[in-house]
Amino acid sequence: MTGMLASVTSLDEAKLAIEVGADVIDLKDPARGALGALEARTAREIVTAFGGKVTLSATVGDFPAMDAGEVLAAARHTAALGVHFVKVGLFGTPRDVDCVRALTTLTSETRLIAVQFADLAPDLDLCERLVEARFAGVMLDTARKEGLGLRGLLSQSQLSRFVRGAQALGLITGLAGKLRLADIAPLLDLRPDYLGFRGALCAQHQRSAGFDIQALRAVRVAIPSRQSDQARRPRLSAGQLP
């Protein structure tokens, strides 16, 4: 089953996303960039309120120069917030591999998600390096939110190759990047582990605006709920296990 990831900027937005049944609450400040880091005090409020109730992820901030020392320091700071997953952007530079290598020092105790950007010539074959560095997963997103969305930048076959290749290596997979309601059904066919949303959940689809509860509900309805699916499954006795 594919889960719903909702990027939030405040405790109130986190509450709304949890109320509609988002599977992952992603702490992010869209005013600071594609992976803008949420102010630490706000992030800690959300972790304190919901850390034991729902899966939480957080972004480390945008580091397009991909300085390994800066990225590593930001990842450590984010991990210290107590979230379940830490998302680190890879900006399509020759230094991406150096950053992945540097982050290996964290992966024994922190579940890292690499975020590649469809509009920055992503290396779709980087997944093997991520596995070697013990990353937990990888996502595709977009860096330029005023441009084309994910499905306008990569074909269905390219996205399928990414998802299947990453999952075959044991990586969690996510797809995001200006996704709208019309994008959900085609992307569900690819069976990623998560679809990520921000703008589609906000008033007038403006990612810097607050959440629109009707938009939240529309996205949740379009993605079959993991909880609902589990509730429909008959319980199996030990003798019935495959």
Q: Which of 207, 223, 205, 138 is nearest to 175 (CA)?
A: 138
Burial of residue 94 (CB within 10 Å: 0-12, 13-18, 19+) is exposed
d(CA 67, CA 71): 6
Beta bridge partners of 8: 27
- Of the candidates 15, 53, 87, 178, the residue annotated as catalytic is 87
Tokens of 28: 């992010």
- Of the candidates 15, 28, 53, 145, the residue annotated as catalytic is 28
Q: Does residue 145 have an active-site annotation? A: no
Q: Which residues contact 179 (CB under 8 A, 6 or more apart)?
A: 149, 150, 151, 187, 195, 196, 197, 200
The catalytic residues are: 28, 87
